[in-house]
């Protein structure tokens, strides 16, 4: 068995209860638009502490529905970090609006509130904030900027299920939030996502848009507006509900894996470990280290791969993506994003990592970049 198999980059944590939940749906014969979806929505809304949740087919679908439901369109600008997954920019572009990229804080990788405010123009209509790697953004400052300029706020919480900011559960801040449940996330539905919001109007609009624009009380083939097929299936919803029932255990296992890395990396001065500010509870999505100045990630990743250690580049800045440069033209320099992106890489990470696996990863990393 190769090292790649012994130390997978990521992986879902599936229990016998999860399997039983999916099998029960298969036996029921009801595979779509059924009670599991409604139960999953109710459970996640209760967990986050908001009245409304809308289950959808992916985190990207959740972001797209929110940009559409907020009425964004051509001529509008949306402020978004460049250091994030490409779905954030795409969800804005789908509506015809324009993403405006914002620089990040050097320690958390989240939106820099000062640069955020500096990028506001008369065309700015919304902020799409991201809780990068499961560390909450500085929500007090972001919401203050939004209030001063009358901006809608979407929270991309796809990496942050279970995180808190000053005691408030991530997903309960801003106008609405999006969660994603891809297999590398803290909990999974295979593919799937969820919108959560305090706004009945937004929830109702998203519920209709996910189902080809049908009104909630409309006839089967009666459509109020153009919509999308962004429904979640009953098997995915059942898996999600089962996973959510043990979310505290899933998060604790990832906390333990992150703590093992923190401890083992203390002697590796050329790799900065992830931060966690005192007023947040971080939900560990990936374990990303930042290399010391003078090192770049690509040769380090290549050397680790040759030693059998998988890593991932998190993230490639969006403002440097070729298709976005073609669409939007060259944007302003984002010096923090550009510097950190070239020195940040994610190590193998999931809740079932063993101490021996962590030791093997860090021993090889230290051999490549220096340290003990």
CA-CA distance, 13 to 250, in Å (whole number)?
Answer: 8
- Report, in this order, helix, strand and coil percent for the chain, each rounded to 5: 40, 15, 40
- What count of Cα atoms within 13 Å lies in the side-chain half-sphere of residue 291? 24
- Residue 247: per-residue pLDDT: 98
CA-CA distance, 279 to 287, in Å (whole number)?
Answer: 20
Q: How confident is the model at residue 154 (pLDDT cuts 50, 70, 90)?
A: very high
CA-CA distance, 283 to 312, in Å (whole number)?
Answer: 19
**Is pLDDT above 80 for 337?**
yes
Q: pLDDT tens across 98-133, in order? A: 999 999 999 999 999 999 999 999 999 999 999 999
CB-CB contact of 10 with 350 (8 Å): yes
Bridge partners (DSSP) of residue 180 are 193
**Is pLDDT above 80 for 372?**
no
Q: pLDDT tens across 184-243, in order? A: 999 999 999 999 999 999 999 999 999 998 876 566 667 778 899 999 999 999 999 999
- Residue 215: per-residue pLDDT: 73
Q: How confident is the model at residue 332 (pLDDT cuts 50, 70, 90)?
A: confident
3-state secondary structure of 251: helix
What share of the chain in percent tops pLDDT 90?
A: 92
pTM reported for the whole predicted model: 0.95
- Residue 4: per-residue pLDDT: 42
- What's the mean per-residue pLDDT of the chain? 95
Instruction: Find the mean pLDDT for residues 265-280.
Output: 97
Instruction: Find the mean pLDDT for residues 295-321.
Output: 96
Number of neighbouring beta carbons within 10 Å of residue 300:
20
**Is pLDDT above 60 for 5?**
no
Helices 59-69 + 200-209 axis angle, to 10: 120
Instruction: Find the mean pLDDT for residues 25-30.
Output: 97
CB-CB contact of 349 with 10 (8 Å): yes
CA-CA distance, 104 to 90, in Å (whole number)?
Answer: 19
Instruction: Find the mean pLDDT for residues 307-327.
Output: 96
Contact partners, residue 345, CB within 8 Å, separation at least 6: 288, 289, 291, 297, 300, 301, 311, 312, 313, 314
């Amino acid at each position: 068995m190769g090292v790649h198999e012994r130390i997978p980059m990521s992986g879902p944590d599936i229990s016998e209860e999860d399997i039983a939940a999916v099998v029960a749906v298969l036996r029921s014969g009801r595979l779509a638009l059924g009670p599991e979806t409604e139960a999953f929505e109710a459970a996640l809304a209760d967990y986050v502490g908001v009245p409304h949740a809308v289950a959808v087919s992916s985190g990207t679908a959740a972001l797209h529905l929110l940009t559409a439901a907020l009425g964004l369109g051509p001529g509008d600008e949306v402020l978004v970090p460049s250091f994030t997954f490409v779905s954030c920019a795409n969800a804005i572009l789908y509506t015809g609006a324009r993403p405006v990229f914002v620089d990040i804080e050097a320690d958390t990788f989240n939106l820099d509130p000062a640069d955020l405010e500096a990028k506001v123009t008369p065309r700015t209509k919304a902020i799409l904030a991201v809780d990068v790697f499961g560390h909450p953004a500085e929500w007090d400052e972001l919401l203050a900027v939004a209030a001063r300029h009358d901006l809608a706020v979407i929270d991309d919480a796809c990496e942050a299920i279970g995180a808190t900011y000053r005691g408030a559960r991530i997903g309960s801040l801003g106008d609405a939030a999006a969660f994603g449940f891809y297999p590398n996330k803290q909990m999974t539905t295979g593919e799937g996502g969820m919108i959560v919001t305090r706004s009945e109007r937004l929830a109702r609009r998203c519920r209709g848009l996910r189902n080809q624009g049908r009104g909630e009380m409309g006839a089967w083939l009666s459509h109020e507006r153009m919509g999308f097929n962004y429904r979640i299936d009953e098997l995915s919803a059942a898996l999600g509900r089962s996973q959510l029932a043990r979310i505290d255990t899933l998060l604790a296992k990832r906390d333990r894996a992150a703590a093992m890395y923190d401890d083992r990396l203390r002697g590796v001065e050329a790799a900065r470990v992830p931060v966690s500010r005192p007023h947040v509870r971080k939900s560990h999505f990936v374990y990303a280290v930042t290399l010391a100045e003078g090192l770049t990630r690509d040769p380090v990743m290549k050397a680790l791969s040759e030693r059998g250690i998988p890593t991932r580049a998190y993230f490639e800045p969006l403002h440097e993506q070729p298709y976005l440069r073609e669409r939007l033209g060259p944007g302003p320099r984002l010096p923090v994003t550009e510097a950190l992106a070239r020195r940040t890489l994610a190590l193998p990470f999931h809740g079932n990592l063993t101490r021996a696996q962590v030791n093997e990863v860090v021993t090889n990393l230290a051999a490549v970049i220096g340290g003990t």
